[in-house]
Each structure stands twice: as C-alpha cells, then as structure tokens.
Amino acid sequence: MTLTLPPKTSRLNKYRLLLVGPFPPPKGGMSVHIDRLSQQLSARSIEHSILDESRQKSPDIGHLRSMGLAQYLRLLRRSDIVHVHSMNPLVRLGHTIAARMLGCKVVQTLHADHSGRFGKFLLRLAGAIAHERIAVSEALSLQMGGAAHVIPAFIPPLPNEETLPDDITQWLAEQTADGRRIIALNASKILQEDGVDLYGVDMIINAFACDDVNRRFAAIVCVGNVPSDEEYYASLQAQAAKGPAADRIKFVRGETNFPGVLRHSHLFVRPSRRDGDAISLREALWYGVPTIASDAAVRPHGVTLFPSRDTGQLIDRIINADTTAIPRETQRDFSDDVIRVYSAVGAAT
C-alpha cells in the first residue's frame, strides 16, 4: 500500500498515545524499535506511555504481566491512540478488541509472522478492525491482506547505544592493530531449527577454515539475553576454541550495544536461515559497513546476498567484501513515517 499521509504536524500533541509490545531488556529487533520510537516521540513532545510485554520488568514502564485487568483497562481508557506491536496473534487481537471497545483509535505494526494458518487468520482479523496497519516489508503487508503501509522498522541508533565495555573495545582495537578486519554478527538467541543453526553462527566459525579468511579477519558474535539452546551454544564456543581462529572469534553474551560494535567493524554478516526485516542489517548500512546476508528473506538495497546455508559462497562474499560498501545516506529514519500515520488516525473522524 502506498504511504500517502499528511505532513508532519504538532496536532499529535493533544493526543495520548500508548505503545504496546516488548521493551528492553532483553534487546531484540522489536523491543529496540519501540525504545527508539519512544525516544523520538519524547523529542517531539508527544505524550505517550508504554505497555511492556517482556518477561522482565523495566522501571517506570507499565508491565502487562504484572498488572491486573482493571489497571490494564484504565491504561487503555486514558489513551486516544493505541499502537499494537504484539508478536502473538491472539494477544494482538485481544489488545485491538479491548482498545476499540474503549473508544481508542488502533494502529498495528507487523514485524514478523511465523504463525500457522489459525494465527494468520487472527492477524488478519485484528488488522481488519484496526484503524491503520503498518508492515515492515511488502511480504508482511500481503500477510495483512495488502492493506498496510509499508514502513521499515529502522530508526537510527542514539549516541548512548554506541558505548561499549572496555574489554570489547580493547579486543576490537587489538585485532585491528594486528591488521585484521572485524566481522560482526549478532543473534538474539542461539538455537537450531530442524537441526540447522537459525542465525548461521556455525557458518562464520566454518568460514575460518579458509586460510584467506583466517589470515585477514576476526569475528565478534554478539548474543542477546533471550533464552537459548545452552548445550548447542556451548558446542559452538568449543568448536571455535579448537579451530584455527581460536583467538580471533569472540563471543559476547548479554545486552551489548551492537551499534557500537558496528562502528568498529569492517563487515557485517547475517547468515540467517529465516528472517524478517532485520534492524541490524539496516544499522550496518546506516554506518556504511559492507553488509552480507543470506537470501532467506527480502533484504534492503545495498546488501550483498549469498545462497542460504552455502558456506563456500559466504566465504567468497567475505573475501570480496571491500567492493560492497554503499553510501550511508541510502538509509533513513522511518520514525517520521510512523508519526504521520498517528497524525492521520488522529485527524480521522
């Protein structure tokens, strides 16, 4: 659906907005998007609240799992526009119905969809009763019946997201001083699907069996705090430790500021088996880092593709990565597009 919306306006300042979805920690594509969107709204003096669906409670943020029904309904009743990001189709539908019954305008964003037939039916039903729908890609717009604004989830990182602990900064500096180029890779969690690594971390380790890669590169693998397959994660670490690049593959676990890692990296790789519109890909492009990804999903302009699970082709792209850099200005801040959707909903009668 073509985005045809009114220009930016201060009209939103008279509305109360509620963002519903996961909020960091842990960090993931959706929670980071909501956090950055909230900060953009604050910078524009747009009144809003957050209803956090994460398991971990954040200070001063409404937490869905900790509140009773009456408190939840009061929060909705105090809102004029409710923006639902929920991944679970049934939860998404529940928020939408409750908000509509209390007279709120409803906006939905679909970030990914791995649901079955019934889940897809619930997604479409929730979308049908919302006032506006946003999908982060054309493919997801079709999942919503084709009646969605296509707005990627990318909002540029803020300066405080670029700070890194001293040990990571030192390791990156040492590898660079030794003449190696840094490959960055991130994964919200480590797991296998049908015996295959979801984020392709094993492929990066196997790529260092190539003498050219082993001689010229080092890799940093940032893993989030989302629960992982710990046994498989340990096996990956052991494989890297016994391989030819034992001192050149670094695993980092926790709430690492990945934008800070990208700023110090020479190459970003996303060898995922399946994917949505990965924010880390767009972050790498934003920083002007040459970016390689599997063809398991539609990727943004400027990404160099390789056939999914083809380690030989991945190695080829890594070795020739110098030719893939694109100008930073090919990426832009999509928060303005989301705010224009709010303006359109608020202006509708």
8 Å CB contact between 84 and 21: yes
DSSP 213-254: HHHHEEEEEEE-SS---HHHHHHHHHHHHHSTTTTTEEEEES
Q: If you count them, how many residues does the chain have?
A: 349
| 10-155+333-347 shares its CATH topology with 159-330 | yes
Number of H helices, E strands in the chain: 13, 15
| pLDDT tens by residue, 297-316 | 989 988 999 999 999 999 99
Q: What class has domain 159-330?
A: alpha beta
pLDDT value at residue 4: 39
The mean pLDDT value for 123-148 works out to: 91
Mean pLDDT, rounded, of the chain: 91
From 3.30.70.260, 3.40.50.300, 3.40.50.2000, 3.40.47.10, which CATH number describes the 10-155+333-347 domain? 3.40.50.2000
| pLDDT tens by residue, 63-80 | 999 999 999 999 999 999
Q: What angle do CA 24, 29, 35 make, to 5 degrees?
A: 40
pLDDT value at residue 270: 98
Structural domain spans, the chain: 10-155+333-347, 159-330
Instruction: Please name every residue paired with 322 in a beta bridge, in sequence order, or none if there are none.
Output: none
8 Å CB contact between 218 and 248: yes
pLDDT value at residue 49: 96
**CA quadruple 303, 304, 310, 311: dihedral positive or negative?**
negative
Higher-pLDDT residue of 131, 323: 131
Q: By three-state DSSP, how is residue 197 classified?
A: strand
Q: How confident is the model at residue 348 (pLDDT cuts 50, 70, 90)?
A: low
| pLDDT tens by residue, 162-213 | 999 999 999 999 999 999 999 999 998 999 999 999 999 999 999 999 999 9
Largest CA distance in the chain: 65
